[in-house]
Amino acid sequence: MRASRTTRWLAAAPMAALAVATVYPLVFTTNVALKTRHDYILDRFSPTRTAHWDNLGEAWASAGVSQYFVNSLIVVGCAVVLLLALGSMAGFALSHLPFRGSRALFLACLAALFIPFQVIMVPLARTMTGIGLIDTYPGLILAYVAQFLPFTIYLMTSYYSGIPADIVDAARIDGSSVYGVYRRIMLPLGAPALLSVGVLDALFCWNDVLIALLLMPSAQHRTLMVGITSLRGQYSDDIPTFAAGVLIAAVPILVVYLVFQRQIADAVTAGATKG
């Protein structure tokens, strides 16, 4: 449906204003990140005349952002691979292989979806300490997998449910094992869903601060987001370098968003259509 011309143009004005309000904070931060400290103290609003790229190098090298960045890459990379592997295996079994308790298992997954991390964080930290995984990469990776697996399984199960059972049957008649069906049919066919949920999982893990703060306390293990929070105290009198660190942390997200916008929206709304 189309509203009348005037209504549409009238609505466009406040919407454009809101779009500016959405973008401005980022523009401002970028501008600050490219100023010298001196320029910033004199005037923090006007556009920089000459972009001062040194702040980015300073934040990357001296402030330790590069180390935080690598830590985040390791943890998020491993977590996403595990999430996709476990999620697609379980999703395939739950959607195409009849077995005792599969319905109950799916419902348990849905229930787990609604347990917020805050509710389990204290006992989880104790458990991780107990099994010696506190402040280790595997511990944090495991925590992320546990946190986002229910969502991943839910999405993969609903996606695979849309794939006709005939395909599986045909492959079985041709002599493929169940594992073969998974590897040669389900995994390739599931690529679009794996991409969507993988990107979203990666964003969730990359953006998290609470879980990382709780389970990776020591400085050399800090993930990028935890590192940014520590940067603030460290550079409280050098705002441009702090802004540069924030910018470095935001740019990968911006890139992923622009490239995978549709996939992210798909994954978000796939979780919603259930109602």
Partner 1 sequence: MATARLLVRPETRRTNSPTSANRRRRRVRPERLAPYVLVAPAVLVILGFRLWPLLLGVNFSFTGDGDRDGTPVGLDNYAELMRDPVFRIALRNVGLLVLLLPVAVAIPGLLATFLYLRVPGARVFRTVYFFPAVLSPVIVGSIFNLLLAYDGPLNAGLGAVGLGPADWLGDPHVAMFTVAAVHIWATFGMALVVFLAGFATLDATLIDAARTDGAALRQVIWHVIVPGLSRTIQFVFVTTMIGMLTSMFGLLYVMTGGGPGGATYLPEYYIWIQQGQMNRPALASAASTVLFLVMLVVGLAQIGLLRKATRED
Choosing from 61, 165, 170, 265, the residue that interacts with partner 1 (CB under 8 A) is 265
Is 82:141 a contact under the CB 8 Å cutoff? Answer: yes
3-state secondary structure of 219: helix
Q: How near is the Cβ of 37 to partner 1 at its closest, in Å?
A: 14
Q: How near is the Cβ of 177 to partner 1 at its closest, in Å?
A: 6
Q: How near is the Cβ of 231 to partner 1 at its closest, in Å?
A: 8
Choosing from 225, 241, 244, 263, the residue that interacts with partner 1 (CB under 8 A) is 225
Helices 191-207, 224-234: inter-axial angle, 10-degree rounding: 20
228 is an interface residue for partner 1 by CB under 8 A? yes
How far does Cα 219 stand from its chain's mean position? 22
59 is an interface residue for partner 1 by CB under 8 A? no
179 is an interface residue for partner 1 by CB under 8 A? yes
In terms of phi and psi (left: phi > 0; alpha: psi -120 to 50; beta: otherwise), the region of 163 is beta
Q: Which among 58-66, 161-169, 187-195, 256-264 is the span making contact with partner 1, rule CB under 8 A?
A: 256-264
Q: How near is the Cβ of 93 to partner 1 at its closest, in Å?
A: 4
Choosing from 47, 183, 257, 259, the residue that interacts with partner 1 (CB under 8 A) is 257
Residues of span 15-54 touching partner 1 by CB under 8 A? 15-16, 18-19, 21-23, 25-26, 28-29, 32, 44-45
240 CB contacts (<8 Å, ≥6 apart)? 32, 33, 34, 35, 36, 37, 40, 52, 55
195 is an interface residue for partner 1 by CB under 8 A? no
3 is an interface residue for partner 1 by CB under 8 A? yes
Site string for partner 1, 60-79 (x = CB under 8 A): --------------------
For partner 1, give the closer residue by CB, 220 or 229.
229
Measured distance CA(256)–CA(260) in Å, rounded: 6
Q: Of 241, 257, 206, which is closest to residue 64 (Cα–Cα)?
A: 241
143 is an interface residue for partner 1 by CB under 8 A? yes
Is 230:216 a contact under the CB 8 Å cutoff? Answer: no
Residues of span 91-120 touching partner 1 by CB under 8 A? 92-94, 97-99, 102, 105, 108-109, 112, 114-120
Q: How near is the Cβ of 45 to partner 1 at its closest, in Å?
A: 6
Buried b vs exposed e over 216-252: b needs ≥16 C-beta within 10 Å? beeeebbbbbbbbeebeeebeebbbbbbbbbbbbeeb
Question: Rounded to 5 degrees, what angle do the CA atoms 101, 102, 103 make?
Answer: 95
